[in-house]
A and B are shown apart, each in its own frame.
Chain A
Amino acid sequence: MITTFKGNVWKYGDNINTDVIFPGKYTYQKMEPEEMAKHALEDLDPEFVNKVKNGDILVAGKNFGMGSSREQAAVAIKYAGIRVIIAKSFSRIYFRNAINAGMPAIKSPEAVESIKNGDEVTVDMEKGEIITPKGTFSFPPYPQTVMDILNSSGLINYIKSKIINK
């Protein structure tokens, strides 16, 4: 079950697109998630993969993940160590891909405004709270379907469990 995340923040701007998160030239190469992780944010911040720590939190401006439907843009970030993404808003396919990869994507423009790069932030999924050095911000709970997918660590496990339970 997903409950609470605590980690240090990597903060980026608005309209971060999938080509800079996971370049198109790699999308048709067969890669395991660990290999995808080595290219996470390659054309945005080449230092990211060298310095990111397991459990870190990614924070971004509006329309995070715009562009391609490539799922690796979510998987690469997750396997690089990021546990949760907080943004002012998400592009819709990216939002789905993050959830389906078992990585919460939380929309909170207020929290994003208050968070600085490197801050330590806590996200409480049950209470729907983001605790930053400048204050606590609440976000609405996910619909049940989405929580079920996250609690199964992603869509594929969720489908598996549904098929088994039938």
Chain B
Amino acid sequence: MGKTFVEKLMSKKAGKDVSAGAIVSIEPDYVMSHDNAAAISNTFKKIGIEKVKYPERVVIILDHEIPAPKESSAANHKEIRQFVNEQGIANFFDINNGICHQIFVEQGFAMPGKLIAGSDSHTTTYGALGAFSAGIGRSEVAAIWATGELWFQVPETIKIVINGQLPPHITPKDIVLYIIGQIKADGADYKSVEFTGDTVGAMGIGERMVLTNMAAEMGAKNGYIPPDQITFNYLKGRAKGAFEPLYSDEDAMFFKTIEFDVSQIPPSAAKPHTVDNYAPIDEVAGIKIDQALIGTCTNGRLSDLEAAAKILKGKKVKVRTLIIPASWSVYKEALKKGYIETFIDAGALVLNPGCGPCLGAHQGVMAPGEVTFSTANRNFKGRMGCRESEIYLGSPLSVAASAVTGEITHPGRFL
């Protein structure tokens, strides 16, 4: 019997042959944290040891509340900078970089065959480059800082095969919202999800990251895309070191395999207040919106901004439209390509790279009774700072089209 990707990786790390269900104590190659590194450093100090065991494996990226919107956030950042200096943590990215998941990938930490843990649920994103990456809690990061290792249960694997030529108005976000609508928010609880198929193979890294980012919204432990030439090309001159790609065997035991043909699907939306509350866009078309948000760790990359610019070119937005590139290098590329000028001319607000209002901390929180149409990954009640507001989720094309009309709109109208 063959092995899945995750069984192979965890066997390699554990130094013994393990299969799904086994519990192993293993050493992550990298451990990522963001603004919560301040709280983690306090927990770390309580353990009672002075120095982080492997400072070179620690990556800290400030992104959740940048620049600091209030005194407490500023104090938080200050504490992190002090800790980084004390501990000699070289892989520190201050507020002028961007969203942690984007920076982690851009900086070449996400590599095939690596084991990565992070104190953020969307740490699953790095699987787009063939890594195993999973979200963990703050105390767990403190434990890794202290000891270098953590316990994991080897997960079973669900294989999701995606085939079909995409129509011009369909993006990876439409695909993944559609899939979550089918398998639901707990459809992959505790499981490793492997995305394969012709459609995935044709996607660029930025597009693949949408799938693995949203794997968290099906409950998955990690999302994984088998690395190929597109992956290796992306990593040339970028990877932080040598890596060994790992692949599931042909005869590996999968928990289940689900196939999707996406050549005929309509643009997708998720209705309030859960990500699996799927609707084809026509069902929600016409719903008035107060704010449009294009960005976040799900959809703030160049391909997403390109999609938005394609629709916003030469038009004016009718509602507050927030556009947040995922990093400054994305911002710069968008600037060169003229997208930023398009957004400004359309009347949108282009904000500094970061998490923005996605988690309701600042930069566009909502008022009671308001509706936001967003490219983010979550629409939970109160998510954007107000429990009497509503969030719909969709693709950058759909959100841009809706910003122009002031109501949820099929992007095909402008393409």
Contact = CB atoms under 8 A, between A and B. Distances in A.
A93 B136 contact: yes
Given A30-B75, A91-B219, A155-B143, A67 B378 contact: yes
A164 to B, nearest CB: 9
B1 interface: no
A43 interface: yes
Contact of B380 (A27, A67, A159): A67
Given A71-B139, A92-B221, A66 B382 contact: no
A156 B383 contact: no
Contacts of B380: 17-20, 67
A89 B73 CA distance: 34
Contacts of B36: 27-28, 70
Interface stretch (A3-11, A96-104, A109-117, A127-135): A96-104
A54 interface: no
A15 B361 contact: no
Interface in B185-229: 185-186, 189-190, 219, 221
A163 interface: yes
Given A19-B378, A28-B73, A30-B38, A145 B151 contact: yes
Interface size band for A: 35 or more
Contacts of B65: 28
B382 A19 contact: yes
B186 A163 contact: no
B120 A69 contact: yes
Contacts of B35: 28
B23 A145 contact: yes
Contact of A24 (B39, B137, B189, B383): B383
Contact of B47 (A62, A91, A143, A163): A163
Contacts of A69: 119-121, 123, 135-138
A156 B43 contact: yes
Most buried by B among A62, A69, A145, A163: A69
12 contacts: A24-B385, A27-B36, A67-B378, A69-B120, A69-B135, A71-B139, A93-B137, A100-B140, A143-B23, A145-B151, A155-B139, A159-B146
The 9 closest A-B pairs by CB, nearest first: A63-B186, A24-B359, A19-B380, A71-B137, A43-B382, A97-B137, A69-B135, A69-B121, A71-B138
Interface of A: 15, 17-20, 23-25, 27-30, 43, 62-63, 66-71, 74, 89-93, 96-97, 100-101, 143, 145, 154-156, 159-160, 162-163
